[in-house]
Structure 1
């Protein structure tokens, strides 16, 4: 079966780079949207040139230029959005809605994957502020996609390993603790940690699979489902050091 042509939007970001690499590695004709503002970022320009050297096609278009964006979308069969959450949140949401409108106008896309890749927002109605608004905005985008009758797949990858494993699931740092670790609650809640390269690979593998059409894919590797206590124990075994645990009660943590 001929593989779909894939356009990656946000291809120079943390997840986007991995999606571009996975798409190329799996033999998909890969297009990367090259936005005007990227030309001022040396790191991103170098990433784009690297993708081009590996066979990707760079497509110049702005998310604020509807005509050029629609023209870019019409060159492919599938659009994968990896627009980064490091933007101001409302700006990222606005950009994704512009992308949805362009896909609707183009009318040729066989599959759209919006930029989610975390916890399934449809299951997060109980979330507390300020985090809750993120899930509500993702659900608004889903409703826009479905109202436009755009074929889609949602990817739920839970917790990125790079953000939650090296720091032993502590907030506010990405580095491993040297002698003390904060344990939230009793530390026995199960968490699903997923390698970002695996997220990208499964995302690309889903594109032409009829089983994933208009569905949510949950990435849940059994051996990657660990409590914070289990994660700490693995680190202690690897490092040969016992770390002091500072338990933070649930009420105090929520405060």
Structure 2
């Protein structure tokens, strides 16, 4: 497998927020990846009228739709027949279900390569990472892989935060920071000069494709990749440049963010995860001396710049 490109790919979670970008990148890749791409989805999604706008273009490009229940082992076993590579794009609420997917992959005779849904914050960035509450399901998945997988090889594509999801200012979570185009107001954490590494959602797909195209560099590896590094103040400057207006800036001290984070976890507030992740990013948990972009054949100019993400935000484009 190490010397071969994937032949038959199965994507799980293809119609989710990040799954759409990963699937689009895989089915549109040039040169084409593999002989066949399939997606595994629920019968409700497969038959949903609202999902046809997403599914129809993929089917027109030869993608096979396999419908079934992700919690039904027999459905998964059937979906795995003939598949050598599985790409999981499951969202945070379904991450733990990957343990069963991995168990069945290891038991199958066909699956050789598995991409867990690791797109996002590095859960092993430093010694404190193991204690972060939002990391726990991904940690369980990694532990299962380490302890139980012998035949199947895994590749983790760790991208850091998605710039598109980072930018919006949530009225109910102002202390988490963000940018409001309508009022031309920004809330930044700390002094606004702290560097953060981001990946655009289209680039997540591009990076997964690059990993699939370079198995010799990615098989069994933890790949730390990103589109660019910038600061909250530089983001404000880009919004000002593109809107042609001066923005107001409110600063939230790091300590205040920590206080709101603790209060939210104590109150079982679902926004607690947002505060934790924003704090991790603000404290440098996305920065590396060197990323793995180049080992995948990608240069800085191949990635989307900040200006594109800001332009989408100004136009009100949803991810």
User: What range describes the TM-score normalised by the shorter chain of this pair?
Assistant: 0.7 to 0.9
Alpha carbons 1:13, 1:84 under 8 Å: kept: yes
Deviations 1:90-134 (A, max 9, x none): xx13321221122122142221111120011112652598xx222
Distance 1:214 1:128, change over 3 A: closer
Partner of 1:214: 220
Deviations 1:55-103 (A, max 9, x none): 1011122212212211211221100000122xxx3xx133212211221
How is 1:39-188 mapped onto 2 (pairs within 5 angstroms)? 39=46, 41-85=48-92, 89=93, 92-123=94-125, 125-126=127-128, 132-146=132-146, 147-149=148-150, 150-165=152-167, 167=169, 171=176, 175-176=180-181, 178-188=183-193
Residue 174 of structure 1, CA deviation: 7.4
Runs of 5+ unmatched residues, structure 1? none
Distance 1:128 1:252, change over 3 A: farther
- SS of 2:16's partner is coil
Cα distance in 2 for partners of 1:128, 1:77 equals 31
Partner of 2:37: 30
Partner of 2:294: none
Deviations 1:147-176 (A, max 9, x none): 2222010011111121124559x7477753
Runs of 5+ unmatched residues, structure 2? 260-319
Distance 1:210 1:128, change over 3 A: closer
- SS of 1:15's partner is helix
Residue 185 of structure 1, CA deviation: 0.9
Alpha carbons 2:95, 2:117 under 8 Å: kept: no
Cα RMSD after superposing both structures: 2.4
Residue 9 of structure 1, CA deviation: 0.2
Distance 1:213 1:63, change over 3 A: same
Cα distance in 2 for partners of 1:101, 1:163 equals 32
Alpha carbons 2:96, 2:137 under 8 Å: kept: no
Q: 1:247 aligns with which of 246, 251, 276?
A: 251
Cα distance in 2 for partners of 1:40, 1:125 equals 45
Cα distance in 2 for partners of 1:126, 1:120 equals 11
Alpha carbons 2:178, 2:188 under 8 Å: kept: no
- SS of 1:30's partner is strand
Partner of 1:21: 24
Alpha carbons 1:186, 1:247 under 8 Å: kept: yes
Q: Where has structure 1 moved over 4 Å in runs of 4 or more?
A: 172-175
Deviations 1:155-204 (A, max 9, x none): 11111121124559x74777535233212111111111211111112102
User: Is 2:234 the partner of 1:230?
Assistant: yes
Cα distance in 2 for partners of 1:250, 1:104 equals 44
Alpha carbons 1:20, 1:30 under 8 Å: kept: no
Distance 1:251 1:100, change over 3 A: same
Residue 142 of structure 1, CA deviation: 0.9
- SS of 1:17's partner is helix
Cα distance in 1 for partners of 2:179, 2:233 equals 17
Distance 1:167 1:252, change over 3 A: closer
Alpha carbons 1:81, 1:115 under 8 Å: kept: yes
